[in-house]
Structure 1
Amino acid sequence: VLVFDFGSEVYVWHGKEVTLAQRKVAFQLAKHLWNGTFDYTNCDINPLDPGECNTLIPRKGQGRPDWAVFGRLTQHNETTLFKEKFLDWSDTKSCSKKNGDSVVVVENKEMRSGDCRPYDASLMMSVVQMPVKTILDGVNVGRGYGLVEGEESRNFEISTLSVDVWHILEFDYSRLPKQSIGQFHDGDTYVVKWKHMISTAVGKRLHSERIIGPGKEKCCYFFWQGRNSTVNEKGTSALMTVELDEERGAQVQVQQGREPPCFLQCFNGGMIVHSGKREEEEDNAQNDWRLYCVRGEKPIEGQLLEVVCHCSSLRSRTSMILLNIPKASIYLWHGCKAQAHTRDVGRTTANQIKEQCPLEAGLHSSSKVSIQEFDEGSEPSGFWEALGRRDRKAYDCMLQDPGKFNFTPRLFHLSSASGEFVAVEFMYPAREPNMPCFWWTTIMRFTCGRAGGLKRVKAQGPLAFDGTQTGSVPWKQCFITAKNERKTPKSYLIHAGLEPLTFTNMFPSWEHREDVAEITEKEAEVCQQIILVEDVLSRLCKTTYPLADLKSRPLPEGVDPLRLETYLSDEDFEKALEMTRSEYDALPGWKQVNVKKAQGLF
């Protein structure tokens, strides 16, 4: 019998073989828990009010609220609400034959025990080379400009007619003036109206040029949401989009850092994402210097992201723009590993600032902006004065690195939550095939690996990622070993909150969470920033343990608590369970559990 207390839900669960006396005792104890005092003052979240929306619900009190759930569940008759509490709930699946008889299909025993099949990592090697597609009203607009191939190999010419932008307040909105179009803040939300023309392109037989035929006007509404905008503002932006959409055009949600190229091209390389909120511009204008990171694969899609004005914000694989507001001067800094197309994007964005003199950047229409361009390693003294002092150790400086870095890092999310170990690649929405891209998005809250284009990856044998560290039960006995025909590259395991510079500098900005770092540092096993994966595997893949280690708590790292008997040597197995492995395997599942319980191995 088990009693589960989820705060707002308390359940008494019992197996099929439990006696009536045991059920009565468990029910009485659960009722005592239900009617007794609760205290969540030391918890990060109050389970009775996770969102902290109701001030009338205390963190400490007597008895549960009237709306809370008290239930009794029996084996194989659990409710969906109860099952959803578990990441690895294993259930039977029923299907019907044609004659109406019911057949029960039980999931594979290996899968139930927490195992997952090794992933065929060769599937991760294929690189998507298809052009970016954005479907609006059933039409592929591609990158939002130029020739786009449609259905049946018909070509279309996409051209922009007009762009309008509205700034969304919490319960209102206001239209931005023309000079402010392209100026965003990461704490705000905006609605962008893109009016464009889709024309049919007809090619001549004897010549390669194409004749653009009559077109059709289309309209699309993007509601852009800054990563620091409030939930209310995000909801209002969606509602205002519906209200503003008089043409009944396509409506597309755009999250900061995941802008599609058809959105970026609306601003001709002049999009800037400032930090803070538009209403707080007076506070933001107090600083004389601003530092922006260059993003984008093509000049027309270029954008700038404001980062902290400090040496630690520099990135050797891209370009940066340092703006001196009082002097109206721009330092265009190119990292030593920045590709040619990245430098072109940087020049375009710098010229856009010079031409537009946006008020949001602290400039005005009469400002005469000057641009000074230079590479990493040859910075003028004024550049370092703005960043505090010259400190190349504050970022991952690559001046001494002989590598060309002309490849695109690839990011995969690995999971076995569905019962099957899979890898899903996160693609940069504005990627350009055959063009190296530095990063995927603005900020990542999970870890990824650094991989070159020639690296080969192969699934090979079992790996366990300890569930006590990741907060989930899966990932047991699955691993991926990186291989190269000439040399095996090293793979590293890093922990949340303790990421090294070589990892965090793969992203345009990184939010360091002190609270996460403190939690990670409390783990006894975490004593350094990076660990070789092969060292972790040798420890986690240990197959045999002494009987005393399996009976002690906590269990050794990587041990599956549901299969403790599999870690015993043949001698310890017969000594502990008083039978051979073949005799044990011949027993039904419920008898195996009882045998393990009697010997303290469950």
Structure 2
Amino acid sequence: MPEPIADPAFKAIPKNSTFFFIWRIEKLQLALIPKENYGSFYSGDSYIVAVASDGKEKADSQMKPRTVKQPLDIRIHFWLGEKTSQDEAGVAAYKTVELDNYLGGAPVQHREVQGYESTRFLSYFRNGLRILEGGVASGFHHVEQESAPKLFHVKGKRIPIVKQCEKISWASMNKGDVFILDAIAYVFLWNGETANHMEKIQGAKVAQQLKAEHGSACKSVVIIEDGNEEKDLGSDEKQVFELHLPLSRKGELKEETSDVEVEKKRRTQITLYRCTDENDNFEVIEVKKGPLFQGDLNSNDSFIVDNGENGIWVWIGKKASKDERTKSMKIAEGFIEKKNYPSHTPVTRVIDGGEPIDFKSLFKSWRDYASVTGFGNTYSSGGHVAKEADLKRLLEQNKFDFSILYDNTKIAAEVQMVDDGSGEKKVYRVKNFDLIEVPESEYGIFFSGDCYLIVYKYFINNRENAIIYYWIGNSSTPDEKGTVALKAIEIDNTQLNGRAVQVRVIEGKEPPHFSAIFGRKIIIFRGGFQSGFHNRLKSNDKNHVEANEKYLLQVRRTNKFVTRAIEVECSASSLNSNDTFILYTPDCIFLWAGKGSIGDEREAAKSIASKSENKEIEFISEGQEKDDFWNAIGGRKDYANDKALQQKETIFPPRLFQCSNAKGLFTVEEIFDFQQTDLVQEDVMLLDASNCIFIWIGNLSNEEERKQAIKTAHEYLETDPRDRDPDTPIIIVKQGYEPLNFTGFFGAWNHSLWANGKSNDSTYDELAKKDHGQAANSSKNILPNNNPCTKYPIEVLRARDTSDLPEDVDPLKKE
């Protein structure tokens, strides 16, 4: 098959290899950008960025090409500067399609607009983005501008976006941000009065980078705090600084500008459109509004997923016609104007069979061809390979060696277990705005009208760890729900020194470890204290229900490791062919097994029923019932008798988000290819593990965000276009006390990363108070360390490229 016709510039792309390339549109032609200039963009130009990764190495502008055998994740971004011409923007879009065809039509296409770059795009540039004034069309000459002084505006918490200001003046600056005056002889880092801490850190890194680029021509980096200019500037430094920014004109300085947009993105209901030409006329048809399912897509056509200002996606079916492939992208871009969306609204094109996780996450469920549900991996321990079936069998038979979790935290994350559940536990029940202790004989028995609190302690490597579960019954009162949440915080602070992991559990959504601490069998009765049913258990034997009472328990396995027995209305209409039921009567116990029930449920039902002494247990299979059973349950009635398959749970890969509630505006920003160092102490982070939500609270996060942690998780679930279950378990984790089922999502975990508790703030303040008699010639004078005592493996510190070192490592003092 002949190679597609393509621009000669694309011939540089290697076959079967990872790669990273940037081209600029120059005189309507593609010009390859040298690697040393990656990360610098001109506001008057348009660019194409192409990257291919294999998942083993983080996609990055500095990565080296590597031959691979497996399929590649290929992304093409066309970036439009705010002052680029329409012709240049058009060429960039056209050449993106040409490159896509050259690469077999599999890449994901992204439209990027200056100032609104996607998180994925920014993640490619570890030293941040530098936006420079000018461009090819303006006659700008790079060499001429190199030696000219510049003023840069630094924005961005995690990845700095450094934009050159059009004019060097106080009027270009404000009190809420960080600015860099690059005067060549000195690089001045000016921190606005209300600039956020992370921008100060990023500004320091950029200033050091500028100094290094100037070599011996630059004497030092000078840090200036807003209001301390006279104090922070030496005589020579002040003379150079005032040549460009006279202190007498500082009155032109603007007040603080918000880091978040004034208006919240509209929560538009996600909508699916079909693009088809099957009737010889090209049509765009609205299919449905969310939630969306994978089955809503059809490989014969192209589809547009409209998620409002959050982004528009174009999905190209494998059998879509040429018109459907080409016109759907133009129509999607037309939605921006037609629906009055902001001009920077992201537009992304994906291919049938090559969908990225951020596209799949828009759908209620998604199953890749030939994929497995659940683990999808094998795990090695001591030379033995354990597969999903092994884990299920061993866990359910209590034969799983839980020591494997300590050596391979990825397994702990997959099965959401931190140990075997045999640690020390205390159970409390809410009554009259207080907690009363539950006797051990009642452990594992819950009432739907009440709330419970469980304090669980366990040891790993001789260190005590603690989890506080607070269980909320579906029929409990708002007062009880509020009380149990407040008591969880109180016990954590007063008894456990604030180190406990707090887990909010809703009835029916109990996670595997919660079930494990009660022997993997939970019994939930109806009623509670408020409804007067608290005497259901006999006072002389808490394991039994009143002998003269009749009631029905439905036994169901809700996931791989959790089986629940829940009281339902004692009527034949409550039966279900897919489950097992236990009917308690004053004389005997009936165990009824539906045709679609599974062995785990039947065994659990036997175990629960056998706890009632001196009562005969009669086993009944559906269809073999006798009159005494129907009489005991109140007579024959219709019930759900369609045998159904057990519902398969769709597990998506974990996703990490930085959460912000700045000025009352809730925002989440995804962190791609995340690792432990992405957990910044100043932030509250959200880890979406599909079947549960972790909220990680940094030690330096603000008090309001800590208080709003649960609300943050709820807002995330509510705004997820997949129509997520609002009762998904929420787990609060504190910095320095992360459990195995959390750390397992981050690969290698360094337990000493925050060991001495020293903050970025204190380190930065110490470094900023430099002696003006000394030149700030090395990074030790400006670069803040997260923790000067942090230890890393020798192979990490041996990295040749200093940009590959962890953020808190001084390349001059690696020892």
Q: TM-score scaled by structure 1?
A: 0.40
TM-score (norm 2): 0.31
